[in-house]
Amino acid sequence: MPPLASTGRWSGSLRRTGLGAAALLAAGVLLVAPSAVSRTVPSARADNCPDVALTFARGTDEPAGLGRVGQSLADDLRQNTGKNVDAYPVNYKASLLQLHGGDGANDAIKHIKDVADKCPNTPQVLGGYSQGASVVDIVTGVPIGGIGWGSSLSPQYANNVVAVTTFGNPADRSGGPISAQSQLFAAKAIDYCNPEDPICHAGPGNQWSGHTEGYVPVYTSQAASFIQTRLLGVLAPTAPQGPMGVPPGPGQRLGPLPGPGPAPGPDGQPPANVVVDQPAVFR
């Protein structure tokens, strides 16, 4: 299997240490949960693929890269799981006019497909903040009005994505969050809205700092725990007492692991931390 283009640093480090896939497996660095092999995405090959692949779209006007929220999520996820997490920043113009959401969606889809084709055993995670959340809306097939349209991810790749999370998603105000609307991703998605964020919350107490400063570290930490729980269905703990051996605390409303299914919760409603009301225009 040819190596993933963005994973040169993993394979290079492994060649320098002289460790092959067999030695890594024997050392317990990466194990496949036996029950997961036949029903879902197994663990990644240790020789040239990451344990987890995160694709994240930054917010409006943030410099190229993961953005503040995406970087915090990647750091928390690495710390929680103890796994080799590749974090790919979606390449698009996150401009004030928001004319390039479709471009971002296309880039995210291309990367997801590239990882799936070259590292089919690597579980993937999709996320976005602010305008980047709208990019994720497009990828998952639930874009809102006024946001540039683009392609959605082909159903054949849906099972490669084990978790989806957004922060400050304007779709929350229009009643169309991914966790309630996406046919393929609702059961494995969660939309985080800070109650003081005017972009996703329609109500009293809103302030702009609730959007720009309201997600790190509290909500990114919660998202990392949500993703960790999803990964427990496909990746074995790093060690018996390692980070992956302890699931997050109570309060998460999760769908079946993994794959498409009904929206989270017995009532089919979005998670409690999603606030939905009226449409909003945001910068």
Could you say which DSSP state residue 158 is in? G
Q: Are 105 and 151 in contact (CB under 8 A)?
A: yes
Tell me which of 111, 191, 211, 221 is the catalytic residue. 211
Spatial strand order of the sheet with 52-57 comes to 85-89, 52-57, 124-129, 161-167, 189-192
Q: Which residues contact 76 (CB under 8 A, 6 or more apart)?
A: 217, 220, 221, 223, 224
Torsion of CA 135, 210, 191, 142, to 10 degrees: -40
Cis peptide before 217 (omega within 30 of 0): yes
CB hemisphere CA count around 96 (13 angstroms): 1
Distances (CA, A) of 5 to 12, 13, 24, 117, 199: 12, 15, 21, 12, 36
What tokens does 31 get? Answer: 């194990």
Is 211 annotated as catalytic? yes
Tell me which of 72, 130, 179, 225 is the catalytic residue. 130
Which burial class, exposed, middle or buried, applies to 251 when counting CB atoms under 10 A from its CB (0-12, 13-18, 19+)? exposed
Is 130 annotated as catalytic? yes
Alpha helices by DSSP H, listed for the chain, are 8-17, 21-26, 67-81, 101-118, 131-139, 178-181, 209-212, 218-231
Tell me which of 86, 179, 197, 201 is the catalytic residue. 197
Is 201 annotated as catalytic? no
Tally of helices (H runs) and strands (E runs) in the chain:
8, 5
Active site residues: 130, 197, 211
